[in-house]
Amino acid sequence: MIILGIESSCDETAAAVVKDGTSTLASVVSSQVQVHHRYGGVVPELASRKHIEAIVPVVDEALTAAGLTLSGIEAIAATRGPGLVGALLVGFSFAKSLAYALEIPWVGVNHLEGHINSVFLEPDPPSFPFVALLVSGGHTSIYYVTDHTCAEMMGQTRDDAAGEAFDKVAKMLDLGYPGGGIIDRLAQKGDPAKIRFPRSYLDKFTYDFSFSGIKSAVHRYIANHRDQYTEQIPDITAGFQEAVLEVLSYKAIRAAMDKGCDRIALVGGVAANSRLREKLATDAGREGLRVHIPSIDLCGDNAAMIAGVGYHYLKAGIRAELHDDVFSRSI
């Protein structure tokens, strides 16, 4: 089944053509980073407008790259939520009208299930069940995954998402937006042990996270070192990053061991972090666990993962209705 995937939940307009849920024929992502950069975060109204401008060219480009025309598309999968409602509506309404015009089936997909399924677009995917650590700008959660469309949440952040903490710390240090990739690069030049920030494990038995404390700790450090901190940015970013990643790695491994799974999938925008990729694989390897991490292109928001999970719903006969609407938060 050849599926056109559409993603517009935040600041990326994306379209992809995926065959049978695993083989990506084309994947196009148009980022709005330049638009939101000067505001230090995503401006929802601007995001919606940019999605409207980008959606048709992005879909066209994906079809051309796949060597297809619209008549070659057998079904459509579009992100239904969670995300920014105005942004989601652009991709979702586009998918709805295109499917209606082409008289083909379509389905609305949960963005987070898309991220979890991103590992199936790579060769050698994990077998079920496995534990997924989903770390992005909007979410930080651990799931017990028993099927493509079946993920039980074991824990989640009680305040900021990990990616949000990266973005906010980058903003405090005046490094630019989005901050994750910038901190990743700067931290490589710093010493993670030089400035120690608190690790927030909460209590030992929870898989929940909290990143607001470390964000405040960095803020306090900057306030108390007004004259020196600009020279210490590599060490500050390395110290901050290590404190966040240590907790992520520890909890994901404990979740897998508690569930008796020998596989962990690391997914979401923060899964692009070079230190996290290396650390989780090493820490998990020590416990005899294997980590599956998608390539960098599949960590950030993309439509291939949406088409990938959409395939499993469509195969099971699940279809969206014309009156279906988007949602901003997971229920």
Is 105 among the residues that bind ligand KG4 (CB under 6 A)? no
Could you tell me if 303 and 154 are in contact, meaning their C-beta atoms sit under 8 angstroms apart?
no
For residues 25 and 143, give the distance between their C-alpha atoms in angstroms, rounded to a whole number.
29
Could you tell me if 151 and 126 are in contact, meaning their C-beta atoms sit under 8 angstroms apart?
no
Could you tell me if 330 and 57 are in contact, meaning their C-beta atoms sit under 8 angstroms apart?
no
- Of these, 7, 160, 164, 301, which contacts Zn ion (CB under 5 A)? 301
Q: How far is the CB of 19 from ligand KG4 (least distance, A)?
A: 24
Could you tell me if 314 and 77 are in contact, meaning their C-beta atoms sit under 8 angstroms apart?
yes
How does DSSP assign 199-217, residue by residue?
P---STT---B--HHHHHH
Is 110 among the residues that bind Zn ion (CB under 5 A)? no
Structure-block tokens of residue 88? 């989601």
Total of residues contacting Zn ion (CB under 5 A) = 2
Is 136 among the residues that bind Zn ion (CB under 5 A)? yes
Q: Which of residues 212-241 bind Zn ion (CB under 5 A)?
A: none
Task: Write the DSSP symbol of residue 70.
Answer: G
Is 138 among the residues that bind ligand KG4 (CB under 6 A)? yes
Is 91 among the residues that bind ligand KG4 (CB under 6 A)? no
Q: Which of residues 181-240 bind ligand KG4 (CB under 6 A)?
A: 181, 184
Structure-block tokens of residue 242? 């290590």
Is 294 among the residues that bind ligand KG4 (CB under 6 A)? no
Is 300 among the residues that bind ligand KG4 (CB under 6 A)? yes
Calculate the alpha carbon distances from 326 to 93, 312, 321 in Å. 9, 20, 12
- Of these, 261, 272, 314, 320, which contacts ligand KG4 (CB under 6 A)? 272
Task: Say which entry of ligand KG4, Zn ion, none residue 166 contacts (CB below 5 to 8 A, set by partner kind).
Answer: ligand KG4
Is 167 among the residues that bind ligand KG4 (CB under 6 A)? yes
| Other Cβ atoms within 10 Å of 321 Cβ, number | 9
Could you tell me if 289 and 263 are in contact, meaning their C-beta atoms sit under 8 angstroms apart?
yes
Task: Say which entry of ligand KG4, Zn ion, none residue 13 contacts (CB below 5 to 8 A, set by partner kind).
Answer: none
Q: Please give the angle made by the CA atoms of 93, 24 and 274, to the nearest 5 degrees.
A: 100
- Of these, 73, 232, 301, 304, which contacts ligand KG4 (CB under 6 A)? 301
With contacts defined by CB under 6 A, name the span among 23-31, 100-108, 172-180, 321-329 that binds ligand KG4: 172-180
Q: How far is the CB of 272 from Zn ion (least distance, A)?
A: 11
End-to-end CA distance of the chain: 30
Q: How far is the CB of 180 from ligand KG4 (least distance, A)?
A: 2
Q: How many CA atoms lie within 13 A of 271 on its CB side?
A: 30
Residues that bind ligand KG4 (CB under 6 A): 10, 136-138, 163-164, 166-167, 178-181, 184, 268-270, 272-273, 300-301
Residues that bind Zn ion (CB under 5 A): 136, 301
